[in-house]
Amino acid sequence: MISPISEFLVQNGFEVKSPAFLKGKSGANHMFDIAASREENANKVTVIDLATASTDNVVSEQPVIALFAKIFDVSPDAAYLIAIPRLNDNARKMAELYNIRAVEAKNQKEAINSLKEKMTKAK
């Protein structure tokens, strides 16, 4: 799932690292599934984590909380959480509160299309 998303980002002019380790203000290194930046603006970083549902077919709040902790320390320009197939209601509310752009998708094609749409709106 991560490779097609990385390929999509590369095709759209991003330099991609996957997995990516970014140092936070605390001095700790944080791992993200993907970190992407444009060559002309390497300081502007977008991070992406992927979370898949457990047995109840929804992604819980835990990946949202974990991503928030990392982005609080790293301060990327944008953060996305790709949830397969979807977030539960509490996770969705938390993502919105924490300024995490949630991408809910049943498969990789849907995830890429939704990510493309959200990234276009964010410009």
Find the CATH number of the domain harbouring 79.
3.40.1350.10
**Which tens digits make up the pLDDT trace of 95-107?**
999 999 999 999 8
Buried b (16+ CB within 10 A) or exposed e, 97-115: ebebbbbbbeebeebbebb
pTM of the model: 0.93
Residue 44 main-chain phi, psi, to 5 deg: -95, 105
* pLDDT band, residue 25 (cuts 50/70/90): very high
Domain span holding position 112: 2-122
Q: How far is CA 3 from the centre of its chain?
A: 14
**Which tens digits make up the pLDDT trace of 45-93?**
999 999 999 778 899 999 999 999 999 999 999 999 999 999 999 999 9
Q: How many domains does the chain have?
A: 1
